[in-house]
Amino acid sequence: QQPVQSPQAVILREGEDAVINCSSSKALYSVHWYRQKHGEAPVFLMILLKGGEQKGHEKISASFNEKKQQSSLYLTASQLSYSGTYFCGTPDQGAQKLVFGQGTRLTINP
């Protein structure tokens, strides 16, 4: 079953913060985060493997709450290069496939 992302779209000014949420009605074993620039392929950002795990890369970080079956992606002091569509993906239990949320479009304006 497809995870649900919120919000669907965010518009920020450069330097502002954003939070993107990903939730599932099924138990989550891990959560992947990817970013896709317009017309390009999605690029892997990070994977969270354990409940409560937090990871970060530069000013992009994420948390994983296994009990609540959700993950959040945090973008701090956003840069123009952060613009794009962000997808969370969750592995399907018992199968080696990744199911993605519908995506969150992030627009950063100068």
Partner 1 sequence: SQTIHQWPATLVQPVGSPLSLECTVEGTSNPNLYWYRQAAGRGLQLLFYSVGIGQISSEVPQNLSASRPQDRQFILSSKKLLLSDSGFYLCAWSEDRDRNEKLFFGSGTQLSVL
- Residues near partner 1 (CB under 8 A) are 2, 29-30, 32, 34, 39-44, 47, 49, 87, 89, 91-93, 95-103
**Coil vs helix vs strand at 95:** coil
Minimum CB distance to partner 1 smaller for 94 or for 110: 94
Minimum CB distance to partner 1 smaller for 19 or for 98: 98
d(CA 25, CA 101) in angstroms, rounded, equals 12
In the bound complex, what is the minimum distance in angstroms from residue 29's beta carbon to partner 1? 7
In the bound complex, what is the minimum distance in angstroms from residue 48's beta carbon to partner 1? 10
Which residues lie below 8 Å from residue 11, measured CB to CB, with a gap of 6+? 107, 109
In the bound complex, what is the minimum distance in angstroms from residue 75's beta carbon to partner 1? 19
Q: How far is CA 72 from CA 19, 38, 85, in A?
A: 7, 22, 15
